[in-house]
Structure 1
Amino acid sequence: MALDAGRQDGHDSGTTPDEIDELARRAQAGDADALEAVLAAIRPRTLNVCRGVLPYTPDAEDACQEALLNIATKIGSWGGRGRFTTWTHVVAVNSSRTTYRRMKNQATAYDPQEHNPLSERPDPRTTSVIAGTRLDLLEAMETIEKDHPQYVEPLLLRDVYGLPYDEIAELVGVPLGTVKAQIHHGRKLARPLLRGDG
């Protein structure tokens, strides 16, 4: 499966949303060529979604690869009610958060006594995936998720990606009023956790 299909420059493939939906339906029915085509068509958009959470390019590309793999293996779970691209948006958001968690767990604390004490800290733009992330936002979402997991996905979809309330309600499978309430409460919880400086 050519998960690297498509350009990495973030431009759309030229495939219309209707064509993508049709390719996805064919892929659900077992058409391998349609699956390859739909992955190529959605890759630029998926990478852009991942960049919204992980602006350090190699990290965003890792998350994009994970998202494309998840889309390919779970394409049967797309219900076909909304746009396939909207469903993939959620998969990309979740893959970005999973990638962030994995990298955070793998990161080791910098100890100048153990590492070369005469050198400066490594440049985070080239060496640290964690330093290149929207750390305060991701940490806030991790904190909120511990006690209020139902708020995280709607809040990210609305405030980071700007999806309309009705699309979010359809994606998460709850009534519109509930989604609006979840986003409102999520914002109240997130505000004190976000850094106000900078």
Structure 2
Amino acid sequence: MTSSPDSPTADDIDDLARRAQAGDSDALGALLAAVRPRTLRVCQGVLPYTPDAEDACQEALLNVATKIGSWGGRGRFTTWLHVVAVNSARTTYRRMRNQAVAADPQEHGPLAEKPDPRTTSVIAGTRLDLLEAMEAIERDHPQYVEPLLLRDVYGMAYDEIAELVGAPLGTIKAQIHHGRKLARPLLRGEE
């Protein structure tokens, strides 16, 4: 590797990923260690409560370890990793939402006016509107969700998204445009 172990380059990460795909377990371990901080940052973009993001990060790294063969090697490994991390964060959110039980305010006393973001899970309200909007769109228009999240939440370039999902650039731009039109009323609470 040409850079320090704390900051491998994209080429270093791609090299580790290729070696890991070929069955090199040492390379897989090094790859997982190298991409963990990036993976956690992506998960924190969806789940800002640190324990929730860490759960999603672990799930993402497990997916990387078990499904590294599905990385096609055409684009950067980190681009593929980004999608794996976003999907893991969304899966973690869904699992948490499904496990959440509405609390009876009479049983526990009145709730605080505004939850403390340092101690409040995503289920209690942070980013809930965005994730709920994506869930609603996904029910009827699943093709819009991934490109929309990759562009508007993570700021990926249109051409990177097109390469990653294997669709023409014009199709990706149209999906993002239509996804935004569907998301706006949901985020404003107009449904």
Give yes or no for TM over 0.5: yes
More helix by share: 2
Q: Which stretches of structure 1, 4 residues or longer, exceed 3 Å deviation after superposition?
A: 119-125
Match for residue 134 of structure 1 among 127, 137, 151 = 127
1:116 aligns with 2:108: yes
CA distance in 1, matches of 2:6, 2:188: 37
Match of 1:66 in 2: 59
Q: Secondary structure at the match of 2:102?
A: coil
Q: Which runs of 5+ in 2 are unaligned?
A: none
Number of aligned residue pairs = 183
1:20 aligns with 2:13: yes
Match of 2:178 in 1: 185
* TM superposition score normalised by structure 2: 0.90
CA distance in 2, matches of 1:120, 1:145: 32
Match for residue 165 of structure 2 among 168, 172, 182 = 172
Percentage identity across paired residues of the two chains: 81
CA distance in 2, matches of 1:168, 1:53: 18
Map 1:1-198 to 2 at 5 A: 13-113=6-106, 115-117=107-109, 120=111, 125=117, 126=119, 128-131=121-124, 133-195=126-188
Q: Deviations over 1:72-110 (max 9, x none)?
A: 100000000000001000000000000000000011001
Q: Secondary structure at the match of 2:170?
A: helix
* TM superposition score normalised by structure 1: 0.87
CA distance in 1, matches of 2:75, 2:121: 37
